[in-house]
Amino acid sequence: MADMPRFGYSLLALFGFVTFTAMGCAALTNPTSAWLAAIVSHGMACILLAPVAAIYSREDTRAFLAGFAIVAWAYQFFFLIDTLGWRDINVNSLLPTSQLLEFLGDLEGLDYEHVKKDGESMQRLLYIGEMLWTILFGFVGGLVARYLYLRRERDVPKN
């Protein structure tokens, strides 16, 4: 049986994950306008630059970036349908991530009383959470695309 591709991560990737997690936790704990601007601008920069980076990348990196961009943009599209009022149905409330974020906001053990009293803070919490979910889903989409690329390359006979 042929070896399947392994997923190895660099120290830089680990630092990136820890930074992403720390910023996400800090932003969700205290959803201020500054955190909203930071998370959304960094998230949109990742989503906008992924296709450009995919064009100039090679092999499995290109597959990862293409998968990241496709999945992140698809999720962002579903989130923006409701935000921009393109449809009569509230698609955003149907997303499992929106329901999870509202559930987290309603938990008694978490100190979200300041967020619950201020509707604007709750809206910022949802926007921050949706951008974090977008990046997370994009990352998973990139990993799946990379895996499929490596599996295809392994199955192609070499001349």
First to last CA, the chain: 20
Contact predicate 104/132, CB 8 Å: no
Q: Tell me, yes or no, whether 51 lies in a domain.
A: yes
The tokens describing 99, both together, are 């329901």
Q: Residues 60, 147: contact at Cβ < 8 Å?
A: no
Q: Is residue 23 part of a domain?
A: no
The predicted pLDDT at position 82 comes to 64
For residue 1, pLDDT over 50 is answered with no
Decide: 140 and 51 in contact? Cβ < 8 Å.
Answer: no
Rounded CA gap, 49 and 139, in Å? 14
| Structural domain contains residue 9 | no
Q: Is residue 102, in this structure, part of any structural domain at all?
A: yes
Enclosing H/E stretch for 34: helix 33-55
In a domain, 61, yes or no: yes
Reduced to 3 states (helix: H, G, I; strand: E, B; else coil), residue 2 is coil
Look at the block and give the residue holding tokens 């989409």.
141
Q: What's the rounded mean pLDDT across residues 12-19?
A: 84
21 lies in some domain: no
Q: Which pLDDT score is estimated for 69? A: 93
Name residue, tokens 């989503």.
47
Q: How far apart are CA 84 and CA 115, in angstroms?
A: 23
Higher pLDDT, 126 or 44: 44
**Does 92 map to a domain?**
yes
Instruction: Please tell me the total count of domains within the chain.
Output: 1
Task: Measure the CA–CA gap between 137 and 159, rounded to whole angstroms.
Answer: 37
Q: What are phi and psi of 75, to 5 degrees?
A: -65, -40
Query: pLDDT averaged over the chain?
Result: 77
Contact between residue 92 and residue 82 where contact means Cβ atoms under 8 Å apart:
yes
Does 43 score more than 80 pLDDT? Answer: yes
Q: What is the pLDDT of residues 84-107, one digit of tens each?
A: 665 555 555 666 666 676 676 665
Domain that holds residue 142: 30-154
- Span 109-138, average pLDDT: 73
Q: How confident is the model at residue 24 (pLDDT cuts 50, 70, 90)?
A: confident
* pLDDT (0 to 100) of residue 75: 86
